[in-house]
Structure 1
Amino acid sequence: MSTETNTLRRQDGTGSPGPALRLEAVVKEYGKGGRAVRALDGVTVGIERGSFTAVMGPSGSGKSTFLHCAAGLDRPTGGAAHIGDTALAGMNETRLTELRRKRVGFVFQAFNLIPALSVRENVELPLRLAGERLDPAWLEEILTRVGLAGRAGHRPAELSGGQQQRVAIARALITRPDVIFGDEPTGALDTVTAKEILSLLRSCVDTTGQTVVMVTHDPVAASYADTVLFLADGRIADTMRAPTADRVADRMTHLGAWA
């Protein structure tokens, strides 16, 4: 499959016009000269608002680099990345940090919570760092939505792993971001808890029109998405809509010979 534009559309056709994020012929190389490694090789894709996209591929396929370039955590060697209508190229580190705080949410395998802060304080943190005013009603709505309304005063050590990941999702939602990026968000959880977290992410898309892009190695996790992007050798090898775990697992076994 070539790397021409793949547009991932929201199923109900609603939401703001234009993609939540867009990569245009993005190349990312590490190293120089004959030792340079091309992690992304001309990736072009648009991901529409209100969609859930899983990104999969074998080790070394470029999944993490895709996420880092799309989220403004790393700068492409070539091509362009956009969050909404905002081009990331040319931004200095201060402006990129401000953009990530206000318009991007992150949920990682490690929950990355601050142990000394309560649930409420961890969730509020992105707004405080950005110097934004807290809307108490929005905070309470988010805590209720993720099932933590009665846990706002608890600290991370008093919560289960699944509850800590719910705090991380609430923290990602608090700024009303353009996109939430998940990097193996269920990788440290047991199967039952992972299903609860995936259902919560799915609900964020279906009930509030949130956009989620999740890197995962798990076909079951990918089956919660609207669309799966398969990467191989730094390129988009295939796109699967309405995925099932079995179809995703089967496609993964053939990615090595995609070309």
Structure 2
Amino acid sequence: MFRVTDEAAAGAPEALRLVSVSKVYGRGGGDETAVRALDGVTLSLPTGSFTAVMGPSGSGKSTLLQCAAGLDQPSGGLVVVAGAELAGNSEAELTRLRRQRIGFIFQQFNLLPTLTVLQNVLLPSKLAGTKVNRAKAVSVLERLGLGGRLRHLPAQLSGGQQQRVAIARALVTEPEVVFADEPTGALDTRSAREVLGLLTQAVRDYGRTVVMVTHDPVAASYADQVIFLADGRLAGALQRPTAEEVAERMTRLGAWDAEDSPVAAQGVGV
């Protein structure tokens, strides 16, 4: 089983465990139309870690995130999130687990345009039927630099500010694991740096576990570790990665030519 080897993670409780997880789209068996998006992935991530997931297009990155977060059901294998095994749960139970113990951040901010910043952050609590803690939501927004924007609509915010609202929405319920799918993909360099710093802060200061799918070596360099996928299988890992190391590994995996890699094209320094 792949495990974090960082000394700081030694002895930390497990936040996410996958054992021989596979995902086949199509009829399976000998059907030539079947696609094996994940092929026996096994890994273990401790609480309080920041992991980036990278790989060439079609390597299974998004499928891994969706299966790990309970958004999609694997074809086989075991998934345990925050101590809860996902297999065998009804959709209602999975929805409850996602609302109470898992946070989500996506490339598209998914904010409701007719709700204010504060209302968007409070929405998950209302949907879950739990007590709305307005003071906590305001506190989180203030820590993210949005204390003066509580009554603004999403259209009145920059892209970076909208993503910070999405982060606040993900953190306000105090989830144990936060899954982020290309969270900086739609942002400029400065906003991307701010968002990555906030995700790092969520890990360092609040003990959250972050699992981030990204195509950007610079974004991945903010993580404690990077795990690589190729053809639906684990293809290695880097601890305390630099952007150059990640780009070199991605080049070896055939994700891009060395001259066309993001680091070569834009330089390090998100």
TM-score between the two structures when normalised by the length of structure 2: 0.90
2:9–2:46 contact (8 Å) kept in structure 1:
no
Aligned ranges 1:105-116 → 2 under 5 Å: 105-116=103-114
The Cα shift of 1:66 comes to: 0.3
Structure 2: 5+ residue runs without aligned partners?
Answer: 256-270
Match of 2:14 among 19, 39, 46: 19
Residue-by-residue CA offset, 1:196-222 (whole Å, 9 max, x unaligned)? 111111111111111110000000000
Equivalent position SS for 1:249: helix
RMSD: 1.5
Aligned ranges 1:54-133 → 2 under 5 Å: 54-133=52-131
Residue-by-residue CA offset, 1:111-164 (whole Å, 9 max, x unaligned)? 000001011110011111111112233222211221111111111011000000
- 2:51 maps to a residue whose letter is T
The Cα shift of 1:9 comes to: 5.7
Q: Which residue of 2 aligns with 1:216?
A: 214
- 2:229 maps to a residue whose letter is L
Distance 1:14 1:147 in 2: 33
TM-score between the two structures when normalised by the length of structure 1: 0.94
Match of 1:137 among 135, 138, 149: 135
1:9–1:51 contact (8 Å) kept in structure 2:
no
Distance 2:10 2:153 in 1: 38
Q: Which residue of 1 aligns with 2:3?
A: 7
Distance 2:127 2:133 in 1: 15
Q: Which residue of 2 aligns with 1:29?
A: 24
Distance 1:67 1:217 in 2: 14
Deviates more, 1:94-103 or 1:116-125: 94-103
Equivalent position SS for 2:32: helix
Q: Which residue of 2 aligns with 1:249?
A: 247
- 1:22 maps to a residue whose letter is R
- 1:60 maps to a residue whose letter is G
Distance 1:177 1:218 in 2: 25
The Cα shift of 1:177 comes to: 0.6
Distance 2:242 2:6 in 1: 18
Please identify runs of 4+ aligned residues in structure 1 that moved more than 6 A. none
Distance 2:35 2:160 in 1: 37
Equivalent position SS for 1:41: strand
- 2:173 maps to a residue whose letter is T
Distance 2:32 2:162 in 1: 44
Distance 2:25 2:134 in 1: 44
2:6–2:239 contact (8 Å) kept in structure 1:
no
- 1:34 maps to a residue whose letter is E
The Cα shift of 1:10 comes to: 6.5
Distance 2:119 2:135 in 1: 15
Distance 1:122 1:56 in 2: 30
Distance 2:110 2:81 in 1: 23
Structure 1: 5+ residue runs without aligned partners?
Answer: none
CA change 1:240–1:172 in 2 (3 A) is same
Matched, 1:146 2:147: no
- 1:199 maps to a residue whose letter is G
2:2–2:44 contact (8 Å) kept in structure 1:
yes
CA change 1:151–1:10 in 2 (3 A) is farther
- 1:20 maps to a residue whose letter is A
Residue-by-residue CA offset, 1:48-107 (whole Å, 9 max, x unaligned)? 111100000000000000000000000000001111211100111111111111111111
- 2:3 maps to a residue whose letter is T
Deviates more, 1:239-248 or 1:190-199: 190-199
Q: Which residue of 2 aligns with 1:164?
A: 162
Distance 1:156 1:147 in 2: 15
Deviates more, 1:67-76 or 1:141-150: 141-150
Equivalent position SS for 1:34: coil
The Cα shift of 1:174 comes to: 1.1
1:182–1:212 contact (8 Å) kept in structure 2:
yes
